[in-house]
Chains A and B, each alone.
Chain A
Amino acid sequence: MTADWPILSLTTWLPIIGGVLLLAIGDKAPNASRWMALATAILTFVISISLYCGFDSTTAQMQFVERAPWIPVFNVEYYLGVDGISMPLIILTTFITVFVVIAGWEVIQYKPGMYMAAFLIMEGVMVGVFSALDAMLFYVFWEAMLIPMFLIIGIWGGPNRVYATIKFFLYTFFGSVFMLIALIYMYFQSGSMEILAFHDLKLGLTEQIFIFIAFLLAFAVKVPMWPVHTWLPDAHVEAPTGGSVILAAIMLKIGGYGFLRFSMPITPDASQHLDWLVITMSLIAVVYIGFVALVQQDMKKLIAYSSIAHMGFVTLGFFIVFRIAANSDASGGAILGIEGGMVQMISHGFISAAMFLCVGVLYDRMHSRQIADYGGVIHTMPVFGAFMVFFAMANAGLPGTSGFVGEFMVILASFRADFWFAFLGATTLIVGAAYTLWMVKRVMFGNVANDNVRNLQDVNQREFIILGSLAVAVLVLGLWPAPLIEVMDASIINLFEHIKVSKL
């Protein structure tokens, strides 16, 4: 199906062009820049909605396809398209960016135009990552993502920002260059740079294992999985609120998306062969990182570790499918695992964004993220308190919120793989509740800790809109996840059918 309007190109390039215009205007009129950024972000979101409306959820084919030659000598094409896996992630991206722009409204006083521009360019590039169907185009977007984030953390970040941002840059750069070699290698095997052609490429087991490891390096750093997660807490703590939100809500998802789009369909046999590795890393993330989160003193660091644990669930959900497929004929369980991982990604996008925004609200007032500096905030900020408690519950996986749906689906699926996977995975319901709620208890409840807390002002209208919208999103997805699952169903069944077939 070819759309009349190049919707994917619009969603990709509109924010980038908007960002470049903002850079060109400079910081002469900060208010105009802010409004222009907001207008661009909202317009992009509205355009991206048409992806959902025009989406045909009965087919696993790529939709809204756009194709044009780019570098004919190397068969590189400008090839965009979405399926049920990438489309929800694109809408998540455009949705979250609107709130990031609003969240930085008054808070960012140093070069606001440039700040907004960086986020808009970031948005366009991330949409590009999700919609690229040409491996080189994907790689260009994937790497280009580093530049705005590097600058966002480095310019608007906290005291230790330089260390954090260079660490972030080098870690991700390290991960991705090996993927580049794998892509080039497959280009010579298949004669084409199309990702879909790679899916059908026959590869021997040794080749597959090397390619799988190259992909794993790239995606595991991005997700991030234990033990290459250490850049994330640093980056989160130092990044401005908007940067943390984008990092947690979207950039981490790109790693998960990479597993579904590259690792599993391109190297199914290696994935099956090495699934113990990924499952072990995921379970360590879920259990061990959960305990690490428990002892954090810094709220942002705590949420950062909680993100790693939650992303562990995503990769667990993806890679147990091989065990389930081997155990029984019940492919339903396997599909449940992948879908659970996907729901978990979307839901974590909302919840982690909301949690970081909550910390941002507190930080803007108190300029501290230390849990010890707070106490009894609910007495002075009742509305905010309600939101924060709600999001904390969602983070802990309370039924009725979106956090529950994904975790429940993954745990259910892992029962069909192995009891112990399910058992270890389910500990997150306890540990997750412990670290989140304990933090909320120390920050929100109890007696008012000090004069600073006593003088706090409750959320203003701007903050209310952001947190309110995210709360609605979390609730809707928690109570009625069916539309989301419906959209991705066909694509995931197709993916599962594909990976079941050995390439050997």
Chain B
Amino acid sequence: MQFEAPNLIPVAPEMFILGLACLVLVVDLFLDDGQRIFTYALTQLGLLFAIFLTLSVGQSEAQVIFDGSYIRDGMSDVLKVSVYIVTMAAFVYAKEYLKEHGLFKGEYYVLGLFAVLGMMVMISSQSFLTAYLGLELLSLSLYALVAFDRDSKTGSEAAMKYFVLGAIASGMLLYGISMIYGATGAINFETVSTALAGTGMENTVLVFGLVFVVIGLAFKLGAVPFHMWMPDVYHGAPTPVAQFIGSAPKIAAFALAMRLLVDGMMPLHSDWQQMLIILAILSMALGNVIAVAQTNIKRMLAYSTISHVGFIMMGILAGTSEGYSASMFYAIIYAFTSLGAFGIIILLSKKGFEAEHLDDYKGLHERSPWFAAMMMLFMFSMAGVPPTVGFWAKLFVLDAVVSVDLTWVALVGVFFSIIGAFYYIRIIKLMYFDKPINTQPLVANMDTRLTLSINGIMMIALGFFPATLIAVCVKAIGS
């Protein structure tokens, strides 16, 4: 492995985020509780700089470095920038909540930055080892974040559950990787892929390897039947942490699926396609149906995430570049939509009160018409009703599966999205048609208000003009 400057430039953003995380950790030691705002500002400025850094090291052609175990390409640039933006917004939403709940600590940002680093490594991985390293870095940071409110019983329970199940998933993934290594003698994707093209599915070890890798991936994505951790984690974690878990890591999980399945095991496409079809259909079915029965909005959003993961997988299983760009678009849009929906939950939660129950949303329109309108946009976008951008995300994915003659999968997908529409419009019903229990208007700082407004208006603005973003995704996949 050569550590020379030309080799290091493509990973400059990663090195920067690593340095930033360490810097934040150290600086925070010298600050007292009143000065935590500096930690926050430093983190945000660092992420902002990372956007420019990533864009400036970006080139049109892909660069593979470190002996083929790391890649910088169009997809990684776009996804990394999305991750930074989503994380920055999540930190803005989280600030007041953390202050009120006595959680405004420097460690929150350190863990957050390490999670971002983990996601970046996942996004850029070009060998099974880097993919695994990135995934573990992300997961370990998230386990700690879920347990961030040390005194919360549900939080600790959720973290424990998440940790145990996450460890099993990692084990599965490693097991699968070891089998693939055994069958092909390589761990970097290019070599594996070349070797697979030669052997095909003759090798039983390879079949097992593939199955275990897909299981590990499904765990991380939260696809049915490996979804059980998600509702508990969303429910138990502090709301800003649930927001973070529900947004940026979905982008990274999409990238991981792309790297493992498409870059690494494309010759086995027809085999993993069938597994993904089953996972996608089960996720959409179970996620949407169970979400209807939830009375806790965080659990409802967890099940809704599961169903959206089904849609993301639908694009990947198509196995065409249209499908990948459609899924990429979907993952990015989903991250922003989920971000906003959790933003409203955070806004409604006050000291000692979590706005988790659906009834807490009653009459929100009377209390704060603007925020209610934003929540309505998020809900319509999740349901996929035009003119919100969620519709285009669904459309592009459906387009992709119909183009490979899997029209029946598309039909199943839209059928379950009708069921999905019910629980999204139930939120709108509560906000608009019911009388408020508590008539106090919501109070929000200028920064939260602004972020939420941009986030909400984005749903409709991108709905009117989706062309640029989808073109970016198509270009990113094509490079």
Contacts and interface: CB of A to CB of B under 8 A. Distances in A.
Partners in one complex: yes
Interface string B447-479: 000000000000000000011001100100000
B470 A185 contact: no
Contacts of A169: 421, 425
B385 A72 contact: no
B411 interface: yes
B467 A177 contact: no
A181 B432 contact: no
Interface in A131-153: 136, 139-141, 143-144, 146-147, 150-151
Interface stretch (B187-195, B295-303, B393-401): B393-401
Contacts of B470: 71, 73-74
Given A144-B386, A177-B417, A178-B414, A184 B425 contact: no
A162 B435 CA distance: 12
A174 interface: yes
B386 A161 contact: no
Contact of B418 (A136, A154, A161, A170): A170
A72 B471 CA distance: 8
Given A70-B467, A71-B470, A170-B421, A180 B395 contact: yes
A264 to B, nearest CB: 23
A187 interface: yes
A201 interface: no
Given A154-B432, A161-B433, A72 B421 contact: no
Given A71-B467, A180-B414, A185-B407, A166 B398 contact: no
B398 A188 contact: no
Contacts of B392: 71
A184 B385 contact: no
Given A73-B471, A147-B380, A166 B429 contact: yes
A184 B411 contact: no
Given A147-B385, A181-B411, A71 B466 contact: yes
A341 to B, nearest CB: 28
A155 interface: yes
B467 A73 contact: yes
Contact of A181 (B369, B380, B391, B414): B414
B68 interface: no
B269 to A, nearest CB: 20
Contacts of A73: 467, 470-471, 474
A170 B426 CA distance: 11
A181 B410 contact: yes
A146 B391 CA distance: 14
Contacts of B403: 188
Nearest to B380: A147
Interface string A332-372: 00000000000000000000000000000000000000000
Contacts of A26: 369
Contacts of A165: 429, 433
Contacts of B380: 147
B12 interface: no
Contacts of B471: 72-73
B430 to A, nearest CB: 10
B387 interface: yes
Interface string B77-97: 000000000000000000000
B387 A136 contact: no
B402 interface: yes
Contact of A177 (B387, B399, B418): B418
A387 interface: no
Contacts of B399: 74, 184, 187
Interface residues of A, number: 35
A170 B474 CA distance: 33
Given A72-B471, A184-B410, A173 B386 contact: no
A170 B422 contact: yes
B433 A155 contact: yes
B386 A154 contact: no
A72 B411 contact: no
Given A70-B467, A154-B429, A184 B398 contact: yes
B418 A181 contact: no
Contacts of B429: 154, 162, 165-166
A140 B433 contact: no
A283 B403 CA distance: 39
B347 to A, nearest CB: 20
Nearest to B377: A147
Given A144-B386, A185-B402, A173 B418 contact: yes
A166 B432 contact: no
Nearest to B394: A180
Contacts of A180: 395, 398, 414
B407 A181 contact: yes
Nearest to A137: B386
A377 B422 CA distance: 43
Given A173-B421, A185-B402, A188-B402, A144 B396 contact: no
Contacts of A174: 418
A188 B404 CA distance: 10
A79 to B, nearest CB: 15
A451 to B, nearest CB: 33
A101 B411 CA distance: 40
A144 B415 CA distance: 19
A185 B432 CA distance: 37
Q: Which of B380, B403, B432, B433 has the most CB of A within 10 A?
A: B433
A465 B403 CA distance: 55
Contacts of A185: 402, 407
Contacts of B410: 181, 184
A162 B432 CA distance: 10
A26 B395 CA distance: 34
Interface in B209-261: none
Contacts of A147: 380, 385
A140 B387 contact: yes
Nearest to A184: B402
A136 B395 contact: yes
A74 B417 contact: no
Given A162-B433, A173-B418, A181-B411, A150 B466 contact: no
A181 B398 contact: yes
Contacts of B433: 154-155, 161-162, 165
B285 to A, nearest CB: 15
Nearest to A76: B467
Interface in A364-407: none
Contacts of A72: 467, 471
A71 B391 CA distance: 14
B438 to A, nearest CB: 20
Contacts of B474: 73
A151 B432 contact: yes
Nearest to A169: B425
A110 B429 CA distance: 17
Given A73-B471, A74-B399, A181-B398, A144 B385 contact: yes
A17 B398 CA distance: 31
B425 A166 contact: yes
A155 B391 CA distance: 24
Q: Which of A73, A143, A166 has the most CB of B within 10 A?
A: A73
10 closest cross-chain pairs (CB), A and B: A177-B414, A140-B386, A154-B433, A71-B467, A143-B386, A184-B402, A174-B418, A144-B387, A144-B386, A162-B433
Interface of B: 369, 380, 385-387, 391-392, 395-396, 398-399, 402-403, 407, 410-411, 414-415, 417-418, 421-422, 425-426, 428-429, 432-433, 466-467, 470-471, 474
Given A70-B467, A144-B385, A162-B429, 7 more contacts: A71-B467, A144-B387, A146-B385, A150-B425, A150-B428, A162-B433, A170-B418
18 contacts: A26-B369, A71-B392, A72-B471, A73-B471, A136-B395, A140-B387, A144-B387, A146-B385, A150-B428, A154-B429, A155-B432, A161-B433, A173-B385, A173-B421, A184-B395, A184-B398, A184-B399, A185-B407
